[in-house]
Structure 1
Amino acid sequence: MTLALNIGLVITSLLLIVLVLLHRAKGGGLSSLFGGGVQSSLSGSSVVEKNLDRLTVFVGLVWVILIVGVGLNIKFGG
């Protein structure tokens, strides 16, 4: 159980870093490298950007749940 929680935590941490870096900010971000910057600047908030937001929030919630699981495992498990 501990190994599965730790592996899930590492995977979600790396995925969360990538997803946050893909978001478009004032400077354009990494999403402009993949062609997302042009489309986003024309329409304001595109469907791709909304889906990226939803995916980032979902991965963030999974990450928080895994953090709580690891903490509970350290406190009560062995």
Structure 2
Amino acid sequence: MVLVFSILLIFFSLLLMLLVLMHKGKGGGLSDMFGGGVQSSVGGSSVAERNLDRITVAVGLLWVACIVVLGILMKTGN
């Protein structure tokens, strides 16, 4: 079981990094380095951005759940 959750944790970690990097930059910082500093002509938050936010939060919750389960499994020795 520990192996399965370890693999899931690695997968969710990589996916979470990708999703965070896909977010539109709010100005300054590392987002400018990846081209996020270019202003878009469309103002406000689009449906795609809101869906990306929801997916990122869901993957983040799954990531936290994997960490908690791994901690419990390692503490009990299973």
TM-score > 0.5, shorter chain as reference:
yes
* TM-score when normalising by structure 1: 0.80
Deviations 1:21-75 (A, max 9, x none): 0000125x4586xxxx74xx41310000000000000000000000000000110
* TM-score when normalising by structure 2: 0.80
- Larger relative helix fraction: 1
Q: How many residues align?
A: 71
Superposed counterparts of 1:1-78, under 5 Å: 1-25=1-25, 26=27, 29=31, 38=40, 41-78=41-78
The answer to whether the 8 Å contact 1:16/1:60 transfers is: yes
Name the SS for the 1:24 alignment partner: coil
Q: Tell me, which stretches of 5 or more residues in structure 1 are unaligned?
A: none
Using the aligned pairs only, state the percent identity.
Answer: 49
Superposed displacement of residue 14, structure 1: 0.2
Q: Which has the higher contact order (CA 8 A, sep 6+)?
A: 2
Give the whole-Å Cα distance in 1 for the aligned partners of 2:35 and 2:13. 19
